[in-house]
Amino acid sequence: MKASARSLAAPSSSEVHAVPWVPMESSRWSPVAAIFGNEIRRVTDGFRFPAFALLSIALMALSAITAGARYRAEIHEQQALTQDYAGQLAGLTVDRAVEILHPALKPPWKLDLVVDGGQTATPDVYEQALSALVAPEIRRIQSRNYRLPNQEPLDWMFVIRVVLPLAAFLLGYDAVYGERRDGTLKLLFSYPVARWKVMTGKLLALWSCLAAPFLTGAALSLLLAVGLEGIPLQPGDLVKAGLVVLLGLWGAGFFALISLLVSSLSRENSTSLSVLAWLWVMAVIVVPAVSGLLAHRLRPIPSEGETALRLRAINQQIAREYTGREGHWRRPEWAAADDYAWERASAAAENRRQTLEEGVRRQGLTRKLDQVRLARSLASISPVSLIQELAERLTGSGLWRDESFLEQARRFRSALAGRIAELDRRDPESPHILFFSGYVSRRPIGEGSLPRFAFREQPVRRALASGLSALGVFVLETAALAAASLFIFSRVDTGDL
């Protein structure tokens, strides 16, 4: 009886892709290995797998090349600004230091090839003066042609969010129904093999076909970034890149489960492919776009006209509060006669104006960040958007890097103001009216006396902590999907079609 069973199970070479051979007298994992091997042959037989593998590896290699070119360009432009600032500091006096713009630079994002996180679009320089008479500037230093179309960032996350789910759906849409149609699934289920083992073999095979090109592309991308493009990746950066690799592998398994679930539910291959295509469009395109529209409607940001009205109202408020006592600036030698009474009142008015205007600017920035945060929260119902958010949290990119930059830039200004105030106090001849040129010390500032801005990236430990909530959601979604896939697969009807 065993011999006849073995002869039935062992297919001819021409049927190797149609009838898997499942050993009857081996370890408990031998059926999984046999199904895995047969499914690998089925998935890789044809044009679909080589095309996906080549596309993934090429895109990830290209991400390293474009990231390297962008990194060098940003370094060059930031070095030019740094040199210009150093030239302004040479021979600088205290009263002149309160008027110049002191730049805080957000360094180029070294993991741009892994996850862009919007860093190529958001401001990377925040220039602030200590004088209330000089408005701050927040902008992006690198020049770009705004007539060019707005392109999707080319990074690993593009492959994970767009290419991996598409490949999983194209490679796995017929994983169950195709064998059911050919009759091999009925034969496979006739063996004394638990259905969860059959599904495990299929899942591992599909996951492996997605993971192998992705891992190859990631390794090649890192080698190109460090060796050819010269991006100085530190151990912490490599750890963060490794976390994104693990996230990509996890995502590949998630998309493979979706493909198996839909294939198990479908009665036609065309139906399975159509449903998976619809899911891809909804998850990758529709949900993020609708989330952005909803965030724009639910949490609008102030327009330029509204901001101008608020600033005008502040000017009117200052005029009322300091009626006839602001805007008076005399030559220091004349003002010394009454101990700078008019100038102190004018300085108080300008400092008050600056505080109120800074509040308006901060509120505008906060509203913009809140709008993005709401859009991300709404979009996270899509698995690909949730994966994007996880990647940005684990690497310290995206919204969190922008918020950290703004906060560190403001702390830098506070430290700078404290240092200038200390230098001014050392001069007994200074009127000590901070921070207005001509009414503070005119002594030169020694070289290296002023603090310099140094941006601190988010450490790995804090990145992991910030991603725990999103990670928990993804774990629950994966567990629910795995349970649903196993439940549906265990009830696949293998009757005649």
How many Cα atoms are found within 13 Å in the side-chain-facing hemisphere of 8? 11
Q: How many CB atoms lie within 10 A of CB 148?
A: 7
Rounded Cα gap, residues 126 and 362, in angstroms = 13
Q: Which two tokens stand for residue 439?
A: 């009414």
Q: Which two tokens stand for residue 372?
A: 């993005």
Contact 210, 179 (CB under 8 A): no
pLDDT in tens, 466-486: 888 999 999 999 999 999 999
Asked if pLDDT for residue 5 goes beyond 80, the answer is no
* Dihedral sign for Cα atoms in the order 436, 438, 439, 441: positive
Reduced to 3 states, what is the DSSP secondary structure of residue 107?
coil
pLDDT in tens, 108-137: 999 999 999 999 889 999 999 999 999 999
Q: Please tell me what DSSP assigns to residue 137.
A: E
pLDDT in tens, 49-65: 999 999 999 999 999 99
Spacing of C-alpha 270 from chain mean position: 35
Contact 389, 117 (CB under 8 A): no
Rounded Cα gap, residues 121 and 467, in angstroms = 23
pLDDT bin (cut points 50, 70, 90) of residue 31 is confident
Pairing state of beta strands 102-105 and 125-128? antiparallel
Q: Please tell me what DSSP assigns to residue 271.
A: H
Contact 125, 139 (CB under 8 A): yes
Length of the chain: 497
In which region does residue 91 sit, left (phi positive, over 0), alpha (psi from -120 to 50) or beta (all else)? left
pLDDT > 70 fraction of the chain, expressed in percent and rounded? 92
Per-residue model confidence (pLDDT) at position 491: 86
Rounded Cα gap, residues 471 and 469, in angstroms = 5
The burial class, CB within 10 Å (0-12 / 13-18 / 19+), for 452 is middle
Asked if pLDDT for residue 444 goes beyond 80, the answer is yes
What does the pLDDT average to over 292-299?
95
Contact 47, 56 (CB under 8 A): no
Query: Whole-model pTM?
Result: 0.88
pLDDT in tens, 228-260: 889 999 999 999 999 999 999 999 999 999 999
Per-residue model confidence (pLDDT) at position 380: 94
Kind and range of the H or E element at 159? Answer: none
Strands across the sheet containing 125-128: 102-105, 125-128, 137-139
Per-residue model confidence (pLDDT) at position 14: 40
pLDDT in tens, 86-98: 999 988 999 999 9
Q: Which two tokens stand for residue 26?
A: 């081996």
pLDDT bin (cut points 50, 70, 90) of residue 456 is very high
Q: Exposure pattern of 25-45 as b/e (b: 16+ CB <10 Å)?
A: eeeeeebbbbbbebbbebbbe
Instruction: Please give the C-alpha separations between residue 336 and each of 92, 134, 157, 322, 346, in angstroms, as whole numbers.
Output: 24, 25, 63, 21, 15
Average pLDDT, the chain: 89
Per-residue model confidence (pLDDT) at position 23: 54
Per-residue model confidence (pLDDT) at position 26: 55
Rounded Cα gap, residues 297 and 278, in angstroms = 26
Kind and range of the H or E element at 277? Answer: helix 269-281
Q: Please tell me what DSSP assigns to residue 133.
A: T
Rounded Cα gap, residues 363 and 378, in angstroms = 22
Per-residue model confidence (pLDDT) at position 447: 82
Contact 204, 355 (CB under 8 A): no
CB within 8 Å of 278: residues ≥ 6 apart: none
Rounded Cα gap, residues 215 and 364, in angstroms = 42
